Structure 1
């Protein structure tokens, strides 16, 4: 585990996980980030999840719990925090494979294993900056995505968006405490990095949240990454 990737993950104690859904997914999303969970984020997740899915930065497992999962779904959870992994796995019936791991490091995935969808929901803004460091994650995950798979995610931006008073307060507080590391994060830096790794990229902003989808991993880059 890379220690400089850990501060944002360390907050997820058992107690914090109990209030996470209410504070983050209801209060913060609705009033600070202006990107409602129920009408924007859950439909976005459900649109993109596949039968073979890798969830990176799992939180409480809220989105998986609200996805139309069936017995045929194969779910793998990857996170730096054991509490989050256990909570998310319990929430979907304990059927997922769990990986306690830093997603910026080489992934502990079996040779040749590929996922049809990979999600990064509210992970990037919790990672320490600068954003140029964070985007290395895209290249790492591209290598475990199937040819027709999708990498998708959401993140609160620090640049190029208009935060309201509540949002500015939370941004300042969270960045000072090391819970967020997104003061320099912009749509451009993430979109440019996605386009370097994928042939098809779709980005949009809801409130101050970037929603992104990336498909068709660039084959030449993937081959070089495996050499």
Structure 2
């Protein structure tokens, strides 16, 4: 039965049907390196460094990275967390591992998220899809910290907003995606995002790939 897309956040409605099958080609192989300046290998390296066999994937996209990880990891637990059931079903079929659990959840609503904690939590290209506002991002990061085990790590990447040095393609896409509601990141800055991460984790590492902020955070503050 088709999903009623009016019941999920606007930014998540794009991850259905044919868009999921085109995601790798358009986002990971074209938009990320050419518009934002972050290569697929940059993103893959984060999973190599920080991913574990007890993992939660937030905002699952096409499932490219957890599918690749399946070649190297025998999952003890792999929770896929997304407000869009279509994306969850697509990625679950793609990964095809008995440890996979689908969880319809909203990163801004702790009551919809799993009650257990994970050794690794990935929020890759998620924060820039949230509605605009510092409070929204602060809530999201706090909820990510709540999902992260005391000895675990939360990691990911996000596209920065209008203050970043976007190229012509990046600026055009930034305006268009924010106008559509797919992104809500025009006001996102490295300093603000670092502040949100540092308010919920004792240890935070960040790196820049032109207009993308890569982050890894550990020792969640309870």
- TM superposition score normalised by structure 2: 0.91
Shift of 1:90: 1.1
Contact 1:5 1:127 in 2 (8 A): no
| Structure 1 counterpart of 2:38, from 30, 35, 40 | 35
In structure 2, the partner of 1:101 is 105
Equivalent runs, 1:53-202 vs 2, <5 Å: 53-67=55-69, 68-95=71-98, 96-108=100-112, 111=115, 113-202=116-205
Describe the superposition over 1:107-144 as per-residue Cα deviations: whole angstroms up to 9, x where unpaired.
45665x22001110011111111133122111112122
CA distance in 1, matches of 2:123, 2:63: 12
- TM superposition score normalised by structure 1: 0.89
SS at match of 2:110: coil
How many residues align? The count is 215
Query: 1:23–1:109: structure 2 CA closer, same or farther, 3 Å change rule?
Result: closer
CA distance in 1, matches of 2:159, 2:126: 9
Over the residues paired in the alignment, what is the CA RMSD in angstroms?
1.8
CA distance in 2, matches of 1:69, 1:89: 17
Shift of 1:5: 7.0
SS at match of 1:104: coil
SS at match of 1:18: helix
In structure 2, the partner of 1:225 is none
Contact 2:106 2:113 in 1 (8 A): no
Gaps of 5+ in 1: 223-227
